[in-house]
Amino acid sequence: MTATEGAFAHWIAALEATHFSQLTFPEVSRALRALSSTYVERREKLAEGAALSGAGKRAAFALFYGPLHHLLVTHIVEALPGATENVPALLDLGCGTGASGAAWAAACGKPPRVLGIDRHPWTLGQAAAAYRAFGLSATVRQGDITTANLPKGPVAILAAFTMNELAEPARDALLTRLVDRASHGDRLLIVEPLAGFVARWWNRWRDTFEAAGGRADEWRLHTALPPIVAKLDRAAGLSHREITGRSLWLGGPAPQG
Ligand SMILES: C[S@@+](CC[C@H](N)C(=O)[O-])C[C@H]1O[C@@H](n2cnc3c(N)ncnc32)[C@H](O)[C@@H]1O
């Protein structure tokens, strides 16, 4: 087992200890069903913070989606040329439990400093614990990423499963700002679900990223799930035989040779 795999296992064990000290497994799997229906059928509720309302949904988010996002983002940054080299600082926008930011930072040859920003106060302690679990030097801050002052570059900017929660005008304005930063040397990675309901804005921004020299990818990862994730997947009637997602990437150095 590598050090990062060991940290991943410890992080999940700590999440299990925390959340199952307050809730039973059936409570968490019921909450997971409700949470997945919020993501799929009641997306308009996301802007009101519905995904993280209540201990059950928070536990389901932390124990189920967190590890899936972590595995997917690790796979993505390892596959994108240059994504893990010379990253001095990482900005995790809408950091949630820190799962995705920790994945990118921990995959880097020399781990960057991390700043996680989220509007939801519950996430901040979770994110700080996740970054710590991976041995990262990190700060977390409560804020609205559409209006927050972002640190000066050079920085690698991640928005994983976050852009889709923003209202259209705010998302467009933020993406415009971030693409402009990438044209001045920052790296930029946007990750979202593969599901078609994000297609309208996705296709438009895919064209923008590609025109700016970036790339768009779809990912299908076949990997062993951590036991608690597989157990929740079965119990909630979901089917993550593969972990899927799509990404927009800008700012990596061109592949050599
Ligand atoms: C689906 S979660 C993804 C969390 C994490 N990036 C991951 O990959 O697991 C979306 C996160 O974005 C945060 N978020 C949504 N809109 C935001 C905003 N305007 N400002 C800051 N955070 C926001 C939510 O509170 C939530 O934690």
| Binding site membership of 66 for ligand 1 (Cβ less than 6 Å) | yes
Residues in the chain: 257
The predicted pLDDT at position 221 comes to 96
Taking the centre of ligand 1 as the mean of its atom positions, its distance from the CA of residue 123, in whole angstroms, is 9
How far apart, in whole angstroms, are the C-alpha atoms of residue 173 and residue 157?
16
| Binding site membership of 247 for ligand 1 (Cβ less than 6 Å) | no
The predicted pLDDT at position 8 comes to 97
The predicted pLDDT at position 198 comes to 58
| Binding site membership of 120 for ligand 1 (Cβ less than 6 Å) | yes
The predicted pLDDT at position 158 comes to 98
In this prediction, the residues of the chain whose per-residue pLDDT falls under 50 are 253-257
CB contact set of 28 (below 8 Å; sequence gap of 6+): 19, 20, 56, 59, 60, 63, 232
| Binding site membership of 95 for ligand 1 (Cβ less than 6 Å) | yes
How far apart, in whole angstroms, are the C-alpha atoms of residue 36 and residue 252?
33
| Binding site membership of 75 for ligand 1 (Cβ less than 6 Å) | no
Taking the centre of ligand 1 as the mean of its atom positions, its distance from the CA of residue 94, in whole angstroms, is 3
| Binding site membership of 147 for ligand 1 (Cβ less than 6 Å) | no
Predicted model pTM:
0.94
How far apart, in whole angstroms, are the C-alpha atoms of residue 130 and residue 91?
15
The predicted pLDDT at position 238 comes to 86
The predicted pLDDT at position 79 comes to 97
Q: Which mutation among 68, 164, 165, 166 tests ligand 1's pocket best, with the greatest number of atoms within 8 A of CB?
A: 165
Residue identifier of the C-alpha nearest atom 26 of ligand 1: 96
| Binding site membership of 186 for ligand 1 (Cβ less than 6 Å) | no
Q: Which mutation among 46, 53, 117, 119 tests ligand 1's pocket best, with the greatest number of atoms within 8 A of CB?
A: 119
- The CA angle 138-165-93, to the nearest 5 degrees, is 20
The predicted pLDDT at position 243 comes to 94
The predicted pLDDT at position 153 comes to 85
The predicted pLDDT at position 254 comes to 47
| Binding site membership of 94 for ligand 1 (Cβ less than 6 Å) | yes
| Angle, helices 3-19/66-79, rounded to nearest 10 degrees | 160
Tokens 């044209």 sit on residue: 183
